[in-house]
Amino acid sequence: MNVLGIETTCDETAAAVVCPGEGGRGRILSNEVLSQIAEHAAYGGVVPEIAARAHVEVLDRLIVRALDGAGLRLSDVDGIAVAAGPGLIGGVLIGLVTAKTLSLVARKPLIAVNHLEAHALTARLTDGIGFPYLLLLASGGHTQLVAVKGVGDYVRLGTTIDDAIGEAFDKVAKLLGLGYPGGPEVERMAESGDPERFALPRPMLGRREANFSLSGLKTALRIEAEKIAPLSSVDVADLCAGFQAAVVDVIVDRLRVAMRDFTDVAGHPTALVAAGGVAANGAIRRALTTQAGEAGLAFVAPPLALCGDNGAMIAWAGIERLRLGLVDDLTAPARARWPFAEPVAAA
């Protein structure tokens, strides 16, 4: 079973071909990603119209490259999976219309994949882990703690009530004059910084529900930065280190709550899993590894190339759904918003 995966929900145009591999894992036959970072850098964030135009300019060539890389023709694939949301609607439409066209012309099943579900299932692509597992999904637009019980069976144990973690990294980077996307820049500066120089808050610590709040932390950092402006590179490094340490403390505390709630809704987890662009952060990965070890759980995080947006995760989610007979037709809608997990209260 070879599935083509197409991703255009944000600022990465991606196409990949994946098939089932050994040990329940997937085998990535090709994985083409074209980042638009350069096109958006001057604006300090993703500009939706620019993103949509950039997708339409490169997507067809990228799909050809993904098929060539896998040594396949379109007629050889068994399904066409596409991220049908959530995301920037112009980009989503381009991916979806392209996938529908290919599905119609080549007479292949269409699988309309939820982008967040694809991040959530990546640990099965890379490590073949079984259900249920506890997932921290942290990207530029989303922060969720989820009990992953099965394909299409997700319970949201917590979420952010304001900024997403990646968004907080991006905003902090912007206010400190660092580049976009901010996560990798803040992490790089934090390496040489003193995390204890500034007393930054740890919002939500000790709260009963596994929710996050990050806007207060960002504001506290801004106030500290304004007090000592103009900032030297040492100041920036110390602020980045202080911010990252606070985020790590918040994640560890929120995860503790989620681990407790997980048992009520899903029993014993097979693993603690991180996904989404923020899962590329070394300090966060180290803290999660320690925490999982203390709880007697394996920690699984995708290799860096599969943390950010990519086509392989869409193709894999397509395989998972296709195996269960979950296919879509040409009426599948493009969705700017598309929650993938039920809130815990409704579970």
Residues with Cβ within 8 Å of residue 30, at least 6 apart in sequence: 15, 16, 17, 65, 66, 67, 68, 69, 70
Min separation Cβ 188 and ligand KG4, Å: 8
* Tokens found for residue 273: 């899993």
Q: Which is nearer to Zn ion, 103 or 139 (CB)?
A: 139
Beta bridge partners of 59: none
139 touches Zn ion by CB under 5 A: yes
Pick from 117, 163, 309, 328: which binds Zn ion (CB under 5 A)?
A: 309
CA distance 314 to 18: 9
276 touches ligand KG4 by CB under 6 A: yes
Compute how many residues bind Zn ion; rule: CB under 5 A: 2
- Is-cis flag, bond preceding 86, omega within 30? yes
183 touches ligand KG4 by CB under 6 A: yes
CA distance 258 to 277: 20
CA distance 98 to 332: 13
Residue 278: which of Zn ion, ligand KG4, none does it interact with, CB under 5 to 8 A by kind? ligand KG4
Pick from 82, 84, 278, 301: which binds ligand KG4 (CB under 6 A)?
A: 278
Q: Are 9 and 91 in contact, with CB atoms under 8 Å apart?
A: yes
Min separation Cβ 160 and ligand KG4, Å: 13
Of the candidate spans 126-134, 236-244, 306-314, 327-335, the one that interacts with Zn ion by CB under 5 A turns out to be 306-314
Q: Are 18 and 3 in contact, with CB atoms under 8 Å apart?
A: yes
Q: Which is nearer to ligand KG4, 280 or 317 (CB)?
A: 280
144 touches Zn ion by CB under 5 A: no
Q: Which is nearer to ligand KG4, 278 or 287 (CB)?
A: 278
44 touches ligand KG4 by CB under 6 A: no
CA distance 152 to 112: 13
Of the candidate spans 63-71, 139-147, 226-234, 320-328, the one that interacts with ligand KG4 by CB under 6 A turns out to be 139-147
Sheet holding 153-159, edge to edge: 298-300, 271-275, 133-138, 143-150, 153-159, 342-343
Of the candidate spans 16-24, 106-114, 137-145, 339-347, the one that interacts with ligand KG4 by CB under 6 A turns out to be 137-145
Min separation Cβ 180 and ligand KG4, Å: 8
Residue 187: which of Zn ion, ligand KG4, none does it interact with, CB under 5 to 8 A by kind? ligand KG4
Min separation Cβ 21 and Zn ion, Å: 23
Residues with Cβ within 8 Å of residue 217, at least 6 apart in sequence: 168, 200, 201, 202, 203, 243, 246, 247, 250
10 touches ligand KG4 by CB under 6 A: yes
Q: Which is nearer to ligand KG4, 20 or 339 (CB)?
A: 339
Min separation Cβ 280 and ligand KG4, Å: 4
Residue 184: which of Zn ion, ligand KG4, none does it interact with, CB under 5 to 8 A by kind? ligand KG4
Pick from 277, 302, 311, 318: which binds ligand KG4 (CB under 6 A)?
A: 277
Beta bridge partners of 200: none
Element (H, E) at 158: strand 153-159
CA distance 282 to 199: 22
Q: Are 140 and 181 in contact, with CB atoms under 8 Å apart?
A: yes
187 touches ligand KG4 by CB under 6 A: yes
86 touches ligand KG4 by CB under 6 A: no
Residue with tokens 């991606």: 14
CA distance 26 to 282: 25
- Interacting residues with Zn ion (CB under 5 A): 139, 309
- Interacting residues with ligand KG4 (CB under 6 A): 10, 139-141, 166-167, 169-170, 181-184, 187, 276-278, 280-281, 308-309
